[in-house]
Amino acid sequence: MQYTHIVGIDISKATIDVAVCQKEATAVILNRRFSNRLEGYEELLAWLEKAGIKLEQVLICLENTGLYHVNLVNFLYSKKGSVWIENAVEIKWSTGLVRGKSDKADAQRIGLYALKNQDKAKLYAAEDEYLTELSDLLTDRERLVKAKNMLLGPLKEKQDLGLGKRADRSKEGCKQSVAALNKDIKGIEKQIAELVKSSKELSKNYKLIRSVKGIGMITALYLIKYTQNFKRLTNPKKLASYCGIAPFEYSSGTSIRGKNKVHPMSNKVLKKLLHMCALSSVPIQEGEMRAYYERKVGEGKNKMSVLNAIRNKLIHRVCACIRDQKVYSYKQVA
């Protein structure tokens, strides 16, 4: 679609800063701040209309802020606006060396980024309500698990240091809190199970993912969350790259020959979960992964590199199951 104007929006909890770029001028022509509330969104549309800018001819680009952008995006989507939610890192890395920072300047940078890269725009589509609820429940569970680990972490350290009495005393002091957190975690996991069961699409893909031995409940759910139930990411190589488990070559000329490394810009949550899956898959898969691991280590391969290869194998198997809509079938090991 041909857009007459590109709009960059910098979002904070209370306000949104808007920068309007005209395609022909390749520059920012208008700036204004609005409240991050419904009345502010209405004022934004009225302001654009007064300037002779039609919403249906505008590409609106903003950064993913977690929660602060949700109401604005839903409002613009309901008005049939073209919204592009971009990763903040992509915008930051594209702008080069930047001195100083302000919300107004950030809106301009977002607008100019979108103006230069509009051919790469991925327009927002309303997310499935089940996926939204699943994401919220997983976030709530994650907070509870972190709180529990904050209480239990120091206890383990005291025990490891031989401070048994002090560890017992601390354990007794937070016993009720830990019990309450465990109860809440189990309650959320029950809600998640009921949610997945109630959605045909979620339930189908969840069962397919879990058919790959080594992929646990939480990993399967996070894969569904971050791939939007495999509507956003389906290619195993791209998914592996997103998870930070696809090694890239590091070399230059004849003098620099570094080891292949994974990129630090990755989804740390999925990377950690898949690492745990790789560790657990080695002893349980009827000798299949164990044989692979022992063979590669015997050839002199680094153990972490072999585990990373297993993580890639798991990703490829999951994507194959989703692609073919079939549970994973294991070959008998001789």
Q: Concatenated DSSP letters for 129-181?
A: HHHHHHHHHHHHHHHHHHHHHHHHHHHHHHHHTT-HHHHHHHHHHTHHHHHHH
First to last CA, the chain: 57
Give Cα 7 to chain centroid, integer Å. Answer: 25
Would you place residue 243 in the very low, low, confident or very high pLDDT band (cuts 50, 70, 90)?
Answer: confident
pLDDT digits (tens, 9 = 90+) for 25-57: 667 788 899 999 999 999 999 999 998 999 988
Domain ranges of the chain: 5-120, 129-198, 236-324
Give dist(CA 173, CA 87) in Å, integer. 43
**Token duo for residue 66:** 């977690």
Give yes or no for a contact between 63 and 85, defined as CB atoms under 8 angstroms apart: yes
The per-residue pLDDT for 334 is 36
CA-atom Rg of the chain in angstroms: 24
Q: How far apart are CA 73 and CA 62, in angstroms?
A: 9
Residue with tokens 């100019």: 112
Q: Which of 225, 326, 305, 217 is nearest to 313 (CA)?
A: 305
Q: What is the pTM of this model?
A: 0.77
Contacts of residue 207, defined as CB under 8 A and 6 or more positions apart, other chains included, come to 327
* Torsion over CA: 160, 163, 164, 166 (sign): negative
Q: What angle do CA 290, 293, 297 make, to 5 degrees?
A: 140
Assigned superfamily of 5-120: ATPase, nucleotide binding domain (3.30.420.40)
Least confident among 36-50, 132-146, 163-177 = 163-177
- The average pLDDT across 176-189 equals 95
CA 268, CA 222: separation in Å to the nearest integer? 12
Structure confidence at residue 259 as a pLDDT band (50, 70, 90): low
Point out the least confidently predicted range of 117-131, 134-148, 172-186, 211-225: 117-131
Does residue 16 surpass a pLDDT of 80? yes
Q: For 57-93, how does the pLDDT look when each residue is reduced to its tens digit (9 = 90+)?
A: 899 999 888 788 989 999 999 999 899 988 877 777 7
Query: Other C-beta atoms within 10 Å of 157: how many?
Result: 11
Q: What are phi and psi of 190, to 5 degrees?
A: -65, -40
Q: Which residue has the tokens 């401070």?
A: 163
At residue 99, the 3 state secondary structure works out as coil
Q: Give which of 291, 282, 279, 153 is closest to 219, Cα–Cα.
A: 279
**Strand boundaries in 196-322, DSSP class E:** 247-252, 256-262
Tell me the pLDDT of the chain averaged across its residues.
85
